[in-house]
Amino acid sequence: MSLLSPDQLGIALFPERLVLARTSGGFRRRLAHKEIVACAPAEPGEPLWLPAVNALAAKVAAGALAKADVTLVLSNRFVHYTVVPWSDTLGGKEEELAFARHCFARVHGSDADEWEIKLSGAKPRKPRLACAVEQSLIEDLNARMSPLASRYRSLQPHLMASFNRTRARLGERAAWLVVAEPGLLCLALLQDGCWQSVRTINVGADWMSELPGVLAREECMVDSETECGRVLVFAPDSPQIAIPHTGKWRFEHLAPGLLPGMIAGTDAPYSIALGD
């Protein structure tokens, strides 16, 4: 990246808000603009994601995304996840995607027929993470972002964006990765850098006190021989949350990545949109 590189604009879409973080400065990246846009709840019968997409479209129309390379991050509420086991019988990418869709359909039924599915990379003979998003959401985003042309660079699920930022911290040791959003936890178990399980669950405002019990139940349900008490918690909306010390669980708080000049705590929610 040169000093003349265009601005980078990350936008995280949640049911109740957009989070925007625009950076400039090339190698010496700095925050140029930050903003949180509140969204009204979806009307009955509307997709949960529609208010955020409409708010994004208004920003595009107003020129707020001009002269920047844009990355979108999708709330885990808009994404479905499953771990796809290794199979020796699959003969290529089409069969791999068909098998992933079958794994989703076993849980979600025919709804999975309308989802766009992406598979993570994986080590040979190891399970892979599959992410699925409603095709209608992908198409709506593409249409709303079309004025940006090639400046619209990527679309990332929140879990994957968080995993990419914390991969070095995770290392090869077994660990639970917990990605928190308001009212929702995404819990993933990893071993040797490979996905063992993933699930999203609804929680209350006091989710940190619920977490030991949630993990204990999840551990009983996981089809894996991995036993793990290490838990990495990424909660940018709750940067000051108290980490409990209870039972076998060893909680580690993953501090949000902030740029120079950003304020710890106050600016933590914007880290979701900052990118790597």
Fold matches, 7-77+135-158 and 170-259: yes
Q: pLDDT digits over 159-204, tens only? A: 999 998 888 888 888 999 999 999 999 999 998 888 999 999 999 9
Q: pLDDT digits over 207-224, tens only? A: 999 999 999 999 998 876
Residue 15 has pLDDT above 90, yes or no: yes
Judged by DSSP in three states, 167 sits in: helix
- Taking the model in full, what pTM does it have? 0.92
Average pLDDT estimate for 112-129: 89
* pLDDT of amino acid 276: 55
Q: Label residue 246 exposed, middle or buried (CB < 10 Å: 0-12, 13-18, 19+).
A: exposed
Q: Which two tokens stand for residue 39?
A: 């969204």
Residues 229/208, Cβ–Cβ less than 8 Å: no
Quickly name the fold that domain 7-77+135-158 has: Nucleotidyltransferase; domain 5 (3.30.420)
152 bridge partner residues: 70
Q: What is the enclosing helix (H) or strand (E) of 100?
A: helix 93-108
Quickly name the fold that domain 170-259 has: Nucleotidyltransferase; domain 5 (3.30.420)
Please state the domain extents for the chain: 7-77+135-158, 79-133, 170-259
Q: pLDDT digits over 132-168, tens only? A: 999 999 999 999 999 999 999 999 999 999 998 888 8
